[in-house]
Amino acid sequence: MNMSGVNALRLARRPGPGTQLSLTPSYRHKSPFNHRSLSTSRHMAAAQTEEPARERERGLRMQAWQCAGYDGVGGLSLATVRIPPVLRPNDILVRVHAASVNPIDASLISGYGSQVLNMLRLAGQLEQGIVDPNFIEFPVTGGRDFMGEVVSVGHCASGVKVGQHVMGVVSPQRQGSHAEYVVTPASNVCLVPKGVTNEEAASIPYAGLTGWSAVVISGMMRPNAALGKRVLVLGAAGGVGSFLCQLLSAWGAQVTGVCSGDAENLVAGLGAEPLDYRDPGTKQMLVRDGGYDLVVNCSGSDDLEYLEALKSWMGASYVTLSPPLLTNIDNSGIVGGLVKSVRDVVQGNARSVSQGRLYKWAFFMPNPSALKHITDLMAKHRIRGVVDKIFPFSDAPEAYSHVIAGHARGKTIITMQ
């Protein structure tokens, strides 16, 4: 294959399985796709039709679910847009086969975190030398993780090749994976382990890296030091919780998973001891126990009473995945929001530090070595994707509504097939 940057891709709309991107050597105009690509003879032949320009233009387009304002699910529409170009040398273009819908997708289309994300988007533009005084963030495409096939790679992208099946994440400030194609850094993806379905692969990356951030980065529990440690996972049946029960069990931790009664069998099957939070005795019992090394709250609402479930004076941490930072900034601006957030952390810790316990926040973070660790455990069947419901791409708004309705039992997936 010609590796020269002069070659351009001609990308066909997705008429059905088996249709692929094509490389058209004679097509040498200045293309947004300055990278290596896949070829099929089918499209080589199509390039010689009588309407090459229009063909080409159509071939550079894809469908994406987008919002043009912060109007929630009602504002989502299926748009025909340009396939995102690979502009950064470490980026890759992936043809999406399946993507998950995370609670953050539903929140972002209603404006959650827009101030911080716009700052990050502007920083990304400046990094590319773009200064646009009329910058607006719309249209926005949701979707933070995906499974798909690599169709082209930037000049410096390493570790993946065109044609490989990968699973990975795309940072919240970038256009997301609820589209036929997505661009992300090569370091944000890993090969899909053999035997893992597209939907399972798409269910893991964002929830998995968020869970990793909560346990390893905020909770400071290392994989090789987790043996025998007691961990309480609140929201154990949800996307992050169902992943964490498996990850921590694989590391030899003793996991208690707090969930609704109807999810107890699911949580037990993930290696955790399930407890029903709707039982009024559950919280009292856990607080009386007071023997946990780590509490991770993935339930969607903070509950500082669970701080009491931690051991005292042993460096034990309560980590929440629902920190108020972005909401504070949305409501009070950058400076006011940061000041309020510092106050919130201090308040959380004021209650706990006197008893030798720590209150911490956790955020999703891309993490190549963590993603590799996770996919290795998937290959060994120690972690599986827990799929709640699968929706076709055409029904993406229904998938968002399903997530917004809550009571997740694993992940909601959008599939292209």
Ligand X SMILES: NC(=O)c1ccc[n+]([C@@H]2O[C@H](COP(=O)([O-])OP(=O)(O)OC[C@H]3O[C@@H](n4cnc5c(N)ncnc54)[C@H](OP(=O)(O)O)[C@@H]3O)[C@@H](O)[C@H]2O)c1
Residues that bind ligand X (CB under 6 A): 102-104, 207, 210, 234-235, 237-241, 258-260, 277, 298-300, 321-322, 362-364, 406-408
Please report where in the chains the tokens 């827990």 appear, as a residue. 386
Amino acid at site 140: V
Q: Which long-range contacts (CB under 8 A, 24 or more apart) does 24-28 make?
A: 27/52, 27/56
Q: Which is nearer to ligand X, 284 or 312 (CB)?
A: 284
Return d(Cα 204, Cα 211) in angstroms, integer: 10
> Least distance from C-beta 400 to ligand X, angstroms?
12
> Least distance from C-beta 49 to ligand X, angstroms?
46
Alpha-carbon distances of 171 from 187, 274, 342, rounded to whole Å: 12, 32, 24
Please report where in the chains the tokens 């029904």 appear, as a residue. 395
Return d(Cα 51, Cα 277) in angstroms, integer: 63
> Least distance from C-beta 406 to ligand X, angstroms?
5
| Residue 311 burial by Cβ neighbours in a 10 Å radius (0-12, 13-18, 19+) | middle
Return d(Cα 25, Cα 7) in angstroms, integer: 6
The H or E element spanning position 94 is strand 91-101
Q: Which is nearer to ligand X, 255 or 321 (CB)?
A: 321
Return d(Cα 8, Cα 31) in angstroms, integer: 6
Return d(Cα 276, Cα 299) in angstroms, integer: 13
Q: What is the DSSP letter of 310?
A: B
Question: Omega of the bond prior to 139 within 30 degrees of 0, cis?
Answer: yes
Q: Which is nearer to ligand X, 30 or 278 (CB)?
A: 278
> Least distance from C-beta 305 to ligand X, angstroms?
11
Q: Which is nearer to ligand X, 7 or 102 (CB)?
A: 102
Return d(Cα 190, Cα 209) in angstroms, integer: 12
> Least distance from C-beta 104 to ligand X, angstroms?
6
Q: What is the DSSP string of 186-206?
A: GGGEEEPPTT--HHHHHHSHH
> Least distance from C-beta 93 to ligand X, angstroms?
25
Listed residue (348, 353, 412, 408) closest to 99, CA to CA: 412
Is 148 within 8 Å of 166 (Cβ atoms)? yes
> Least distance from C-beta 257 to ligand X, angstroms?
9
- The residues, ordered by sequence, that sit 6+ positions from 109 with a Cβ below 8 Å of its Cβ are 67, 70, 71, 72, 73, 75, 76, 140, 142, 400
Q: Which is nearer to ligand X, 164 or 327 (CB)?
A: 327
Q: Which is nearer to ligand X, 159 or 300 (CB)?
A: 300
Please state, as a whole number, how many other Cβ atoms lie within 10 Å of the Cβ of residue 371: 22
Task: Please identify the residue of the shown chain whose CB is closest to the bound ligand X.
Answer: 238
Q: Which is nearer to ligand X, 63 or 299 (CB)?
A: 299
Return d(Cα 169, Cα 371) in angstroms, integer: 10
Please report where in the chains the tokens 């939070």 appear, as a residue. 277
- The residues, ordered by sequence, that sit 6+ positions from 392 with a Cβ below 8 Å of its Cβ are 414, 415
